[in-house]
Amino acid sequence: MRFGVILLAASVLAGASIPSGTQVQIRLTTALNTATGKVDQPFEAVVIAPVVVGDRIAMAAGAKVTGHVQAIQAADQTNQRAELSLAFDQIAEGRRKATLGAKLASIDNARESLDADGRITGIAASETASGRLDQGINKVTQKYPGLGDLLNTVKQTVVKETDSNIDYEPGVEMTLELTKALDWAAGDVTIDVKPIQPEQELLRLVSRQPFRTTVEKPPRPSDVTNLMFLGSAQEISNAFEQAGWSTAERLSASSKLETFRAIVEQRGYKEAPLSTLLLDGAPPDMVFQKQNDTFSARHHLRIWHRPGKFGGQDIWVCAATHDIGIDFSEQSRTFTHKIDSQIDRERAKVVNDLLFTGLVRGLSLVSRELPSRLSNATGDTLETDGSMAVIEISGTARK
């Protein structure tokens, strides 16, 4: 067994020069908002995944990043786009500190866009579905004032005006790219997570699990199972809550209406429902997701309770993918989420998020004989090494 996504056995380098171009994943711990923020406003974030140089960990998760707002522009009019530029000043862990030269490379699950320099540009409220409805109602009002007023009242009852300001709460995740080499003198630290034992028994357990989920109607192969959890339902739920993931509402008339509102208003819906996928004919027992400020993009996963025990613990199998946009499916004649075809990245995302909570006691990556290129039920390509990450969850965080 191995774990190729996270180098668990590698010690953090005693003194590393992290080269320019290296990416660093961070999570905001303070809020940023173009409607209320000011130039020079400080902000803070934390590194949430190990930074790897070659085959060694150059920086462990947990380092603190500080910076300030370099430029800011609020969206005061419906046709105006908010803008935000961030400067990343320093990175620190304990007594270790270093000046940071970095730019913003991406914002996870964001509706905003980035230019080559890392400047964030927001959406224009007038270009959203809500904004276009307003424009249409205004035209009606010019000719038929009474009807226009009625339509406007109905519209305001169903959907709200789009707030096009950039509004990032604590928990929003970003990727930095170093613009100059970072001298980082890390101590001798090892990640205190052990491979799951006994190895052969774990191999047999993983080999017995289904590779694929299926959609309900009509039944077609869909997402790949790529994670397994060992622990109680409460321990797993607590771990995902600590990692910043949200549960999902069940599909219902009210959740469908809220989904419609989120799409029209071009905003997030953290408890948005997921379509039903089956594993051995059963719906998932738990569902989690992580969004930002748009319904179009989200990390999400489904978890099924499996028969038997391993080391006295409950067994759960999971299928995790990353929604990166909305597209029209010719196959199902409806709008569906498009996913990142490199599904091993979502497996790594889940592992990193759970490791960061300190609630992971054991971790192994088990190889399986699986085609490297598949398609899901909506026609998206799935590319994978076929392995399943097995995570043993603890009720108590590592010290």
pLDDT digits (tens, 9 = 90+) for 300-345: 999 999 999 999 999 999 999 999 987 755 655 556 778 999 999 9
118 within 8 A of 26, measured Cβ to Cβ? no
How far separated are the first and last CA of the chain, in Å rounded? 26
Above pLDDT 90, what percent of the chain? Answer: 62
142-146, 247-251, 294-298, 331-335: which is most confident: 294-298
What secondary structure letter does DSSP report for 57? E
What secondary structure letter does DSSP report for 263? H
More confident residue, 202 or 190: 202
Nearest to 25 by CA among 91, 120, 123, 113: 91
User: Who contacts 153 (Cβ-Cβ below 8 Å, separation ≥6)?
Assistant: none
Looking at residue 254, its pLDDT comes to: 74
Per residue in 265-291, pLDDT (tens digit) is 667 777 677 788 999 999 999 999 999
Q: Rounded to two decimals, what is the model's pTM?
A: 0.87
Structure tokens at 137: 């109602």
Looking at residue 38, its pLDDT comes to: 98
What is the average pLDDT score of the chain? 86
Element (H, E) at 202: helix 199-207
3-state secondary structure of 355: helix
Query: How far are the Cα atoms of 43, 207, 233, 235 from residue 397, in angstroms, in the given order?
Result: 27, 30, 16, 11
Per residue in 316-327, pLDDT (tens digit) is 999 999 999 877
What secondary structure letter does DSSP report for 348? H
Q: Is the pLDDT of residue 106 over 90?
A: yes
Above pLDDT 70, what percent of the chain? Answer: 81
Q: Is the pLDDT of residue 8 over 50?
A: no
CA 377, 379, 385, 389 torsion: positive or negative? negative
